[in-house]
């Protein structure tokens, strides 16, 4: 069970390495982390408005994570679903690229 965005990022990188059988370069790790974070916050924005987040006066990623955990019902389920969708899309794109080369 994933309980934080950092755990989800780490899990995604490990899964990509495991499923591709390759070591992931630092640049690719950054891409995976940023893309997963963007996907997650896109989903969060469907539930919580940017205005609400601004009003919460959150000053760190940890505060943001805690706020979202308590504010979003089934936060961990959402995080896991986004991670699974991300991995599916990412690995599909990787496979398509491999087929083209």
Residue 84: inside a domain, yes or no? yes
Q: Are 32 and 13 in contact (CB under 8 A)?
A: yes
Residue 67: inside a domain, yes or no? yes
Residue 45: inside a domain, yes or no? yes
This prediction has a pTM of 0.87
Residue 53: inside a domain, yes or no? yes
Residue 61, pLDDT score:
87
Residue 41: inside a domain, yes or no? yes
From first to last of the 101 residues of the chain, give the pLDDT tens digit. Answer: 899 999 999 999 999 999 989 899 999 999 999 999 999 999 999 999 989 988 999 899 899 999 999 999 999 999 999 999 999 999 888 766 666 66
Q: Which domain holds residue 22?
A: 5-96
Residue 101: inside a domain, yes or no? no
**Of 61, 60, 62, 44, which Cα lies nearest the Cα of 52?**
44
Residue 89: inside a domain, yes or no? yes
């Amino acid at each position: 069970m994933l309980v934080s965005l950092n755990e989800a990022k780490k899990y995604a990188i490990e899964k990509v390495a495991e499923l591709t059988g390759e070591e992931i370069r630092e640049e690719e790790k950054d891409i995976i982390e940023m893309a997963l974070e963007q996907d997650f916050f896109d989903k969060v924005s469907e539930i919580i408005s940017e205005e609400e987040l601004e009003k919460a006066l959150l000053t760190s990623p940890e505060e943001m994570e805690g706020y979202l955990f308590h504010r979003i019902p089934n936060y961990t389920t959402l995080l896991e679903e986004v991670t699974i969708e991300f991995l599916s899309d990412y690995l599909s794109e990787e496979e398509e690229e491999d087929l083209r080369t």
